[in-house]
């Protein structure tokens, strides 16, 4: 995102099952620290699970960095990467970013916001998205409500 105060980067992991944003980091640089923090948080959420998801990403350099690959291997995750210039391969994440921009970013005037304030707003939107925003594909439930209805989340 580009706001008057500077650039802000969001690195999320979206669960293709229901669109839940499993983990995310927001920062001012698209670097290894941004994606490693996001990946470490995601791994914590599945630590006690026998399920090992496929982790799909675009072809950004930080997703090809040896440290990223080592983290994926250590967590026993399967890595998948988009073909070059093929956003359809990453449809769940691209769709989330489209909704984020349409519902949250474009309708607001961000000129008076600092980077820190903007980051707080993005974080609040994602929490709202997971907990409250309904999806018709989930029977009019939010991702968290849907998981609760299936007994997947307490």
The 10s digit of each residue's pLDDT in 79-127 is 887 677 666 667 888 899 999 999 999 999 999 999 999 999 999 999 9
Please, which pLDDT band fits residue 11 given cuts at 50, 70 and 90?
very high
Q: What per-residue confidence (pLDDT) applies to 149?
A: 97
Torsion of CA 120, 122, 124, 125, to 10 degrees: 160
Tell me the chain's radius of gyration from C-alpha atoms: 16
| Predicted pLDDT of residue 86 | 66
Averaged pLDDT for residues 39-58 = 80
129 versus 65: which is more confidently predicted? 129
115-131 and 91-100 helices, crossing angle to 10° = 120
Tell me the C-alpha to C-alpha distance, in Å, between residue 26 and each of 4, 87, 121, 134: 17, 21, 11, 23
pLDDT at 7 > cutoff 90? yes
Domains of the chain with bracketed CATH? 2-149 (3.30.420.10)
- Residue 103 and residue 125: Cα distance in Å, rounded? 9
């Amino acid at each position: 995102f580009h706001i008057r105060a500077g650039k802000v980067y969001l690195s999320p992991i979206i669960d293709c099952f229901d669109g839940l944003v499993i983990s995310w980091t927001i920062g001012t640089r698209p670097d290894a620290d941004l994606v490693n923090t996001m990946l470490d948080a995601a791994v914590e959420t599945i630590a006690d699970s026998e399920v090992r998801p496929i982790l799909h990403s675009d072809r950004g350099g930080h997703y090809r960095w040896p440290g990223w690959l080592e983290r994926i291997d250590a967590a026993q995750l399967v890595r998948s990467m988009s073909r070059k210039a093929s956003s359809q391969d990453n449809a769940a994440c691209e769709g989330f970013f489209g909704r984020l921009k349409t519902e949250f970013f474009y309708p607001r005037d961000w000129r008076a916001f600092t980077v820190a304030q903007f980051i707080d707003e993005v974080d609040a939107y994602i929490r709202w998205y997971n907990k409250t925003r309904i999806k018709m594909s989930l029977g009019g439930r939010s991702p968290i409500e849907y998981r609760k209805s299936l007994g997947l989340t307490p």
